[in-house]
Amino acid sequence: MKAQNFENHARYYLFHHFVLTPLTLIYLGYTLYTINQHESVSEAIQSLLLAVILLLIPLLSRIYALKNQNRIIVMEMRQRYFELTGKRFEPKEQKLKTGQIIALRFASDEELIPLMEQAILENLTNKAIKRAIKNWRPDYRRV
């Protein structure tokens, strides 16, 4: 497996990104294109509602997966911070945004604490944190 770094850490899932979501967008477009061909207004509304619902299902399932994953990463970072410092993570966690914590997750143990302090002091963005990482700690299981 190729070594993970800032340039290649984003993940795409073939079925979600390139099959299901595009098909639902095509169906919504087709529904909008043929909306005036329905015999009644109620049929047109029903068709449009179905298309919108079908579009929202994969998007909502993706949001649920990402929110759950983010919770797990925060819990992982709490454990990791405690193992490295012997202190609770919550005081630092309150000073960081969730995206910053997720970005810090990729830092090696040696870089984590100094980079976390820098992120708090300079309010670094997620991308800036990831770019500052020299020894990338890969996560091949991200959703």
At 103, is the pLDDT very low, low, confident or very high (cuts 50, 70, 90)? very high
Question: What predicted TM-score, i.e. pTM, was given to this entire model?
Answer: 0.79
Q: Is 124 exposed, middle or buried (0-12, 13-18, 19+ CB in 10 A)?
A: buried
Q: Which residues have CB under 8 Å from 110's CB, separation 6+?
A: 135
Output the six-digit token pair for 32.
Answer: 């909008």
Residue-wise pLDDT for 36-53, tens only, equals 898 899 999 999 999 999
The pLDDT value recorded for residue 121 is 97
Dihedral angle sign, alpha carbons of residues 113, 116, 121, 124: positive
Q: Which two tokens stand for residue 92?
A: 């630092």
